[in-house]
Amino acid sequence: MSEIEVRKPSEEQLDEMGVRGWPIWECDPSTFDWEYDDKETCYLLEGDVTVSTPTGDVHFAEGDLVVFPEGLKCVWKVAKRVRKHYRFG
């Protein structure tokens, strides 16, 4: 299983991916367990999150594009309210 990818995409890259047309998910500050049944790509419009995985912690925030691999088991620690576009597959 590959690890979580985090990067800062350009506006052009976001347009090419069609990110602004993806659904939006929101979450208030909280901590919860999560398991990915499918690959997820998301783009944070706002928020501050640390995800704990078996191999370490990954931090991401507003402006980050994040890819979670299928099969990942982790704990989400939402420090600042999250609002993100997301896509599975």
How many domains would you assign to the chain? 1
CA distance 80 to 40: 20
pTM for the full predicted model: 0.94
Q: Which pLDDT value is given to residue 33? A: 98
**Tokens of residue 49, six digits:** 């999150």
Residues 35-68 have pLDDT tens digits of 999 999 999 999 999 999 999 999 999 999 999 9
CATH number at residue 47: 2.60.120.10
How far is the C-alpha of 22 from the C-alpha of 6, rounded, in Å?
18
Q: Looking only at Cα atoms, what is the longest distance across the chain? A: 34
Residue 1's pLDDT is what?
47
Q: Which domain holds residue 68?
A: 5-88
